[in-house]
Amino acid sequence: MLRDLFTKLRLTADGKTPSRKRPVHGDHGEARDLKYIFRRRRYPGSREREYLVHLPPAYRAGLKLPVVMILHGCDQDHWDIRHVANFDRIADRHGIIVVYPFVTSYDPPRMRNCWAFWSTSHNRAGHGEVEDLWQIMNDVRKRYDADPARLHVAGLSSGAAMTIALLVNRCDRIASGAEIAGLPFAETAASIGQTPAPLKPVDRVVTTMNEAMGTRKRAVPLMIVQGNGDRVIGPAAAQNIRDSWSRCFSINTSKPVWADYGTRSGIAFEHNRYENRKNGARVETLFLEHSQHGWYGGRDGRYGFADAPDVSELIWSFFDANRLKTAERNRLFAWRPRFRKVA
């Protein structure tokens, strides 16, 4: 009995706690689920944060697997997004390391468990939440010797808005990203809700993106997913994300280079791809005739709706087709943010 209690309370030196989930056996081993504590770093706004890691059965030392980070939305935690996205099944099938960070703690005023996508204290490299997320991603990459050319991030709602912030600030290191019901870079918190404030003009968003990217600017591929009937974050936000990406990276969105439409799981959809083949820029949009705000096609749960096209599978297909090229990979770690030490 005392031994069981000790096991439950044990926290190892690297911040890992034992997983309660039984292993799932696969061809190359067994899936493992681990919990870690990210320790506060010495740059402004950093905090201690909890995160989960899923290792697929294919994982073994020396095999450089891709990493996908998935960010929860407001009124969710890392367990919720893991459940509704159901991305672990994709990971076990394709051999992917999945990371589920939890915002863990934050200063008020803020809706429960929201990421501070609107704040320059948290949406700029070297500061707060966006830097903590990158450091978590990089820690996982180093710990499991993952492929630095295949680091990807996806998120829902405020997690989608923070996904955009992470892609902008680490455009030279993250291969591609996907957002579901998110907001453009550095949009205001007041843009959420049934009576939202007007969205920032696209030109202003692009200016802010360029300032954040600076000389490291790279046309990072992005997939945009949006429910047309979403009353929390409406389709106008997705259109602004598309337009800001297309204008920033010179993508012609007047005519898609590829399109698909139809009905899956009883939900009509329109899926378009736009590209600039000269600079490798790509943006895809998936608009669904769905009235709810959440992750589509995974599991039912807190902001999760199973009866919809399988967005997790579509996101992985997008990620798998978009990785850093050799020239981009060679300069992955040539740039370092200048951190200001805090007490």
What digits encode the pLDDT tens for the residues 112-150?
A: 999 999 999 999 999 999 999 999 999 999 999 999 999
pTM summary value: 0.88
The model's pLDDT over 193-251, given as tens digits with 9 standing for 90+, comes to 777 889 999 999 999 999 999 999 999 999 999 999 999 999 999 999 999 999 999 99
Assign 36 to helix, strand or coil: strand
The model's pLDDT over 300-312, given as tens digits with 9 standing for 90+, comes to 999 999 999 999 9
pLDDT band with cut points at 50, 70 and 90 for residue 329: low
For the residues 14-38, what does the mean pLDDT come to?
64
With contact defined as beta carbons under 8 Å apart, do 295 and 313 qualify? no
Give the C-alpha separation, 311 to 84, whole Å.
11
Looking at per-residue pLDDT, the higher value among 109 and 178 belongs to: 178
Beta pairing, strands 176-180 & 222-227 = parallel
Give the C-alpha separation, 195 to 298, whole Å.
29
pLDDT reported for residue 193: 75
52-to-18, 22, 190 alpha-carbon distances in Å: 11, 15, 30
State yes or no: pLDDT of 287 exceeds 70.
Answer: yes
205-to-100, 139, 247, 270, 285 alpha-carbon distances in Å: 28, 30, 10, 25, 19
Pinpoint the alpha helices (H) of the chain. 2-9, 78-85, 87-94, 128-143, 158-169, 202-213, 235-248, 311-320, 326-330
pLDDT band with cut points at 50, 70 and 90 for residue 11: very low
Average pLDDT in the chain: 90
Dihedral pair phi/psi, residue 203, rounded to 5°: -60, -40
The number of beta carbons lying within 10 Å of the beta carbon of residue 294 is: 24
